[in-house]
Amino acid sequence: MTAFVQLRDYTRAPAPTFELPTDFERQHLSEGTLVKCVFELNTPKEHEHFPERMWIQVSQVLPEGVYVGHLMNEPLALPLQYGETITFTWRNVICIAE
């Protein structure tokens, strides 16, 4: 993932305007699960940017709530590509597909 893009940590961010899955659910994902995360540019605040919510398919479960997956969306403005490998933690997950 490019150095200018980061995933939002939903244990530190202000309370979201949507309901998050439980911490337990986010900490116990399995391979093949689709999850949604929020990506944003890591730039100074004076540069306007908009976060993008995108789906990741989990391909590997690592210790301590760390996951590896592949981006399942084509970003609108962020410098990422469909299928790109993404490493993320349970703290970044805002939705789990049913």
**Prediction pTM value:** 0.81
Distance CA 11, CA 8 (A): 9
Q: Which domain holds residue 65?
A: 5-96
pLDDT for 50: 75
Nearest in space to 11 (alpha carbons), one of 44, 38, 51: 38
83: left (phi over 0), alpha (psi -120 to 50) or beta: left
Distance CA 69, CA 64 (A): 16
The Cβ of residue 2 has, within 10 Å, a number of other Cβ atoms equal to: 12
- pLDDT tens digit sequence for 29-85: 999 999 999 888 766 555 566 788 999 999 999 999 999 999 999 988 888 999 999
Work out how many domains the chain is built from and give that number.
1
Report which DSSP code applies to 8: -
- Provide the pLDDT confidence category of residue 7 given band limits of 50, 70 and 90: low
- pLDDT tens digit sequence for 12-34: 555 556 788 999 999 999 999 99
Per-residue tokens: 47? 């540069």
Distance CA 54, CA 94 (A): 10
